[in-house]
Amino acid sequence: MNTESKFNFMKGFDMKKNVFFVLLIVATFWLSFCENHATAKALDKEALLEAASNLMEAEVQYHQVRVKSEWEKIYGFQTAGYRKKIPIEEFIYTGGKKRPDWKEKIKERQSINLSGARFKPPTMKEMYTKIKKKPKYKIIGGEGGSFTGRASTYTYGEEVQISPDGKYGRVTMVVDVLWLWVEVWIQPLPMPEFWDFENGGWHVQLNRWDFLPISGMRKPPGPDIQYKTVPLREIIDYHLNKANKLYHAGKREEAMKEYLRAVELRPLQTYKKAPMDDPEVKAYLKNVVFQKIEEWNRYLRDRSIADSFAVSYDTWSKEKLAAKRAELEKIKKDFTK
């Protein structure tokens, strides 16, 4: 074998050796990936339903404290990592919606306003000045959008999504918004919220969001999650079944809590499934049902305003508005008779 042939032979051998080592590395990573996923045991159907019901309980509580602008409690729902990076003063200053890296993004963009000055992250003193009067939490708006809107009604979505290992969750709340601009219209706005299960409870993850698979758009941070879906109807039935068993076993206090957990998810559609002939149960559920009636009355007022501008695509006739008001009055009577 001449020198050139030996060189070609050794070159071919080196290429095969490199391919072998590449395949070996790929195989090692693949085995490690499989092992890690195998250790994250998937929840069975019953455990998944329990996780989804606990997530919805957290979602209900989180919604209630936001409506009341209870900032300390809202802050307490954030993940430990978020709270470690963002103090409560900064959280309130930003309206409780900013991702933990918002100041870094300002520095990266180095945005320039009309006067030519560069935007800078606020100082702690500036934050204290703004939050001194504890501003109202804004579920709609507060992020410098072009339109001003106010929420009329809040409705939990028909599905709850949980990761197979029970570590991540996603809940969508649909908010009917009355938009106030040059024209006025009302529109249902789906608002997804992401949750992490940590330290034995569910916490809101602001550093994750929905995205559209359009070229050039950033991918949300965090793991690629393949969710399992749990219908909200199943969660409601789950609580009702537990409540009925507890009620007939004489455990009234525990039963009423389960009835309440079911009714909070769909108040006007679910309350009749509780033993309404029991005055104590009726009184226990009255507040959450009447709050929803008040929401609906606000929606009907906003709907009348929006429809007068003839902008909304699904305008309500006077007869439809009157029928809904009559339905709400009938529900009220169920609690007063």
Is residue 188, in this structure, part of any structural domain at all?
Answer: no
Eight-state DSSP code of residue 278: S
Q: How far is residue 309's CA from residue 328's CA, in Å, rounded to a whole number? A: 25
Q: pLDDT for 75-97, tens place per residue?
A: 999 999 999 988 898 898 888 88
- pLDDT > 60? residue 216: no
Where a domain ends, among 120, 135, 150? Answer: 135
Half-sphere exposure of 51 (CA within 13 A, CB side): 28
Task: Evaluate whether residue 189 is within a structural domain.
Answer: no
Residues 181 and 140: their CA atoms lie apart, in Å, by 14
CB 172 within 8 Å of CB 296: no
Residue 247 falls inside a structural domain: yes
What is the band of 109 on the pLDDT scale with cuts at 50, 70, 90? low
Q: What local confidence, expressed as pLDDT, does residue 176 receive? A: 93
| Beta bridge mates, 191 | 173
Choose the final residue of a domain: 105, 135, 165. 135
* Among the ranges given (22-31, 198-207, 280-289), the one the predictor scored with the smallest mean pLDDT: 22-31
Q: Is residue 56 part of a domain?
A: no
Tell me what pLDDT residue 5 has.
52
For residue 223, what pLDDT band results from cuts at 50, 70 and 90? low
Give the integer Cα–Cα distance in Å for 61 and 49: 19
Asked, for residue 248, whether it belongs to a domain, the answer is yes
E strand or H helix at 149: strand 148-162
33: pLDDT confidence band, cut at 50, 70 and 90? Answer: very low
The answer to whether residue 217 scores a pLDDT higher than 60 is no
Residue 257: inside a domain: yes
Residue 6 has pLDDT above 90, yes or no: no
Domain count, the chain: 2
Q: Is the pLDDT of residue 153 over 50?
A: yes
Chain-wide mean pLDDT for the chain? 81
Q: In which domain, by residue range, is 129 found?
A: 70-135
Q: Is residue 57 part of a domain?
A: no
For the segment 225-236, the average pLDDT, to the nearest whole number, is 93
Quick one: pLDDT at residue 222?
56
Q: Using the 3D structure, point to which of 95, 115, 135 is the last residue of a domain.
A: 135
The reported pLDDT for the residue numbered 211 is 43
pLDDT value, residue 215: 43
Pairing between β-strand 148-162 and β-strand 228-231 as defined by DSSP bridges:
antiparallel
Flag whether pLDDT at 280 surpasses 70.
yes
**Which whole number is the average pLDDT over 194-199?**
94
202: helix, coil or strand? strand
279 found inside a domain: yes
Contact 285, 273 (CB under 8 A): no
